[in-house]
């Protein structure tokens, strides 16, 4: 079924590249949700300067192409923060750039979700003697997070797809793994002769694997969306 | 601490941007050329296929849905590589510029299709029926009823897609299309003025993206439908 020349390539991609992609996506997702929910909740405060600062954060990281953010972070020279010398490697640069972008998306979605909770909920919780923090933590956010679930699944799909941009700085994610193997094959390093349709097959395989991961997730997001309304 | 901050600030050489204004301007023009072609064609695809999807035209609807799902569930970078490296295998040799506008058109078209489908489906059936009662043919009813109202509903989300198409032009750096990010990245690797160059690049992108976002907010206010349909 699988031609001989393709088997080592596919195995390498699935063994080396795919875990890297999924790990990068997991790091970015967790960081995005943690930072994003916090910033989004703070954005509903009435304190102007804080709101403007978070708004600036959101608009900058949402507005920049992710590739530009990744290159910017990656090519910055190392610098000292107190006693530590900070120099991000490719993997950390990509994780940071994806998290900045993702947390901006989550912050904006959280703000919308929190503001969509009726005012009566705030008032009822206040009447029961909840302070601001416990009101947010026990009354508002649990409801808001349920509304956030479909967009979060959508965000996961976007993050998984956007990990491919880390290709640009040499992170060995799934697309990079495929390309490296493609170069090995065409330069004859693997000792096997690849047919002329090799690039077609390899990039088709990359697309197929991404599709198999992302399609169920987009269906899930659509299903959650429908069940909520 | 303060002295170090001053020293770092004083070490910036913003003249690197002015000195490279020629190539940067060319890069900006290349970005705009691919971006504008991509956005215009994506709107055309989105209008046509959005109508097909909303009216559930037999066969065409399923084809359009397949196209949309394939594009939305695979990373755009993989699509770009597929066109650039994969197609020549089939004997289809495209110039870099052709791959540039074609790839972002195909990507944008899928998202525009969803934008317009949602807009057209939001138009209540009774408005179309009123059109039929006046003797409109299905095509006239679409052109005179569904399109003006549904298009208005879809407009803000289509501009969001247009912004994404423009941001995606930065990925064309990876196939060697000399757009803005490509040029800026070249200049910074020749001059080592990383911070200055990428700051200027970020400002350029944010200027474009924020202008278009302001346009969305303006249109949302201007085009808000006077009453709930």
Cβ within 8 Å, pair A161-B75: yes
Distance CA A186, CA A219 (A): 38
- Look at chain A and report how many structural domains it folds into: 1
Q: Does residue B31 lie within any of the structural domains?
A: yes
pLDDT value, residue B19: 84
pLDDT value, residue B226: 63
pLDDT band of residue B209 (cuts 50, 70, 90) is: very high
What's A26's domain CATH number?
1.10.3720.10
Distance CA B213, CA B215 (A): 5
Q: What is the pLDDT of residues B34-89, one digit of tens each?
A: 999 999 999 999 999 999 999 999 999 999 999 999 999 999 999 999 999 888 88
Mean pLDDT, chain A, rounded, equals 88
> What does DSSP say about strands A84-86 and A79-81: parallel, antiparallel, or unpaired?
antiparallel
Is residue B229's pLDDT more than 60?
A: no
pLDDT value, residue A120: 84
Mean pLDDT, chain B, rounded, equals 90
Composition of chain A by helix, strand, coil, percent to 5? 80, 5, 20
Q: Looking at the predicted complex, does its ipTM rise above 0.95?
A: no
Q: When comparing pLDDT for B219 and B175, which is higher?
A: B175
Q: Does residue A114 lie within any of the structural domains?
A: yes
Q: Does residue A63 lie within any of the structural domains?
A: yes
pLDDT value, residue A226: 87
Q: Does residue A1 lie within any of the structural domains?
A: no
Q: Which residues of A touch B213 (CB under 8 A)?
A: 59, 63
pLDDT band of residue B220 (cuts 50, 70, 90) is: confident
pLDDT value, residue A123: 84
Cβ within 8 Å, pair B213-A63: yes
Paired tokens of A2: 């699988």
- Look at chain B and report how many structural domains it folds into: 1
> CA nearest A203 in B: which residue?
B82
Tell me the average confidence (pLDDT) per consecutive run of 10 residues in chain A, 229 residues long.
79 90 95 94 85 94 95 82 80 95 94 85 85 84 86 93 94 90 71 76 92 95 85
Instruction: List beta partners, residue A81.
Output: A84
Residue B82 sits at the vertex; the CA angle it makes with B165 and B162, to the nearest 5 degrees, is 5
Q: How far is B123 from chain A (nearest CA, A)?
A: 19
Ramachandran angles phi, psi of B178, nearest 5°: -75, 65
pLDDT value, residue B227: 59
How many CA atoms, within 13 angstroms, populate the side-chain half-sphere of residue B144?
14
| DSSP annotation of A194 | P
Q: Does residue B172 lie within any of the structural domains?
A: yes
Instruction: List beta partners, residue A80.
Output: A85
Question: A102 and A27 in contact (C-beta within 8 Å)?
Answer: no
Q: Does residue B30 lie within any of the structural domains?
A: yes
Q: Which residues of A touch B89 (CB under 8 A)?
A: 196-200
Helix, strand or coil for residue A191? coil
Cβ within 8 Å, pair A204-B194: no
Q: What is the pLDDT of residues B104-144, one digit of tens each?
A: 999 999 999 999 999 999 999 999 999 999 999 989 999 99
Cβ within 8 Å, pair A211-B74: yes
Distance CA B113, CA B143 (A): 17
pLDDT value, residue B228: 55
Q: Does residue A106 lie within any of the structural domains?
A: yes
Question: B209 and B35 in contact (C-beta within 8 Å)?
Answer: no
Q: Pick the closest to residue A224 from A107, A129, A146, A109 (CA basis).
A: A146
Q: Does residue B5 lie within any of the structural domains?
A: no
pLDDT above 70 as % of chain B: 96
Q: What is the pLDDT of residues A13-45, one digit of tens each?
A: 899 899 999 999 999 999 999 999 999 989 888
The H or E element containing residue A85 is: strand A84-86
Q: Which residues of A touch B185 (CB under 8 A)?
A: 71
Domain residues for the domain of A176 are 6-228
Domain residues for the domain of B162 are 20-223
> CA nearest A200 in B: which residue?
B86
> CA nearest B169 in A: which residue?
A65
Q: Mean pLDDT over residues B89-95, rounded?
A: 86
Q: Does residue B14 lie within any of the structural domains?
A: no
> CA nearest B75 in A: which residue?
A161
Q: Which residues of A touch B70 (CB under 8 A)?
A: 211
Helix, strand or coil for residue B192? coil
Q: What is the pLDDT of residues B150-206, one digit of tens each?
A: 999 999 899 999 999 999 999 999 999 999 999 999 998 888 888 889 999 999 999
Distance CA B23, CA B225 (A): 45
What's B116's domain CATH number?
1.10.3720.10
Query: With a CB-CB cutoff of 8 Å, which residues 128-157 of chain B face chain A?
Result: none
Q: Does residue A36 lie within any of the structural domains?
A: yes
Identity of the residue in B77, B198, B206 whose CB atom sits nearest the CB atom of A63 = B206
Question: B165 and B159 in contact (C-beta within 8 Å)?
Answer: no
Paired tokens of A219: 């269906």
Helix, strand or coil for residue A184? helix
């Amino acid at each position: 079924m699988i031609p001989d020349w393709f088997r080592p390539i596919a195995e390498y991609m699935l063994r080396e590249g795919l875990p890297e992609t999924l790990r990068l996506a997991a790091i970015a997702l967790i960081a995005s949700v943690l930072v994003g929910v916090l910033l989004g909740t703070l954005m509903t405060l009435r304190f102007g300067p804080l709101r403007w600062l978070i708004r600036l954060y959101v608009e900058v990281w949402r507005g920049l192409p992710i590739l530009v953010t990744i290159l910017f972070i990656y090519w910055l020279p190392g610098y000292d923060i107190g006693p530590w010398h900070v120099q991000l490697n490719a993997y950390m640069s990509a994780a940071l750039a994806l998290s900045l972008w993702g947390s901006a998306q989550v912050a904006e979605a959280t703000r919308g979700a929190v503001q969509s909770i009726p005012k009566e909920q705030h008032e009822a919780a206040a009447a029961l003697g909840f302070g601001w923090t416990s009101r947010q933590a026990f009354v508002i956010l649990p409801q808001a997070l349920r509304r956030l679930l479909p967009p979060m699944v959508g965000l996961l799909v976007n993050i998984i797809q956007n990990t491919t941009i880390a290709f640009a700085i040499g992170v060995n994610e799934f697309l990079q793994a495929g390309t490296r193997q493609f170069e090995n094959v065409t330069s004859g390093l693997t000792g096997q002769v690849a047919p002329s349709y090799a690039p077609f097959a390899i990039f088709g395989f990359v697309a197929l694997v991404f599709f198999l991961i992302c399609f169920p997730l987009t269906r899930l997001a659509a299903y959650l969306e429908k069940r909520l309304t | 601490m303060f002295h170090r901050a001053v020293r770092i600030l004083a070490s910036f050489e913003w003249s690197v941007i002015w000195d490279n204004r020629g190539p940067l301007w060319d890069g900006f023009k290349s970005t705009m050329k691919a971006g504008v072609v991509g956005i215009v064609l994506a709107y055309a695809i989105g209008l046509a296929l959005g109508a097909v999807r909303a009216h559930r035209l037999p066969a065409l609807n399923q084809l359009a849905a397949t196209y949309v799902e394939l594009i939305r569930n695979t990373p755009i970078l993989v699509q770009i590589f597929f066109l650039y490296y994969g197609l020549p295998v089939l004997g289809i040799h495209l110039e870099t510029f052709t791959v540039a506008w074609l790839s972002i058109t195909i990507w944008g078209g899928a998202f525009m299709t969803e934008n317009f489908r949602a807009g057209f489906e939001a138009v209540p059936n009774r408005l179309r029926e009123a059109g039929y009662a006046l003797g409109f043919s299905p095509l006239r009813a679409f052109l005179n009823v569904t399109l003006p109202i549904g298009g208005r509903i879809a407009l803000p989300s289509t501009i969001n897609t247009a912004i994404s198409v423009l941001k995606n032009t930065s990925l064309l750096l990876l196939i060697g299309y000399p757009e803005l990010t490509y040029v800026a990245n070249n200049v910074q690797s020749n001059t080592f003025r990383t911070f200055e160059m990428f700051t200027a690049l970020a400002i350029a992108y944010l200027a474009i993206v924020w202008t278009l976002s302001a346009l969305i907010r303006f249109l949302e206010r201007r085009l808000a439908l006077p009453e709930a349909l």
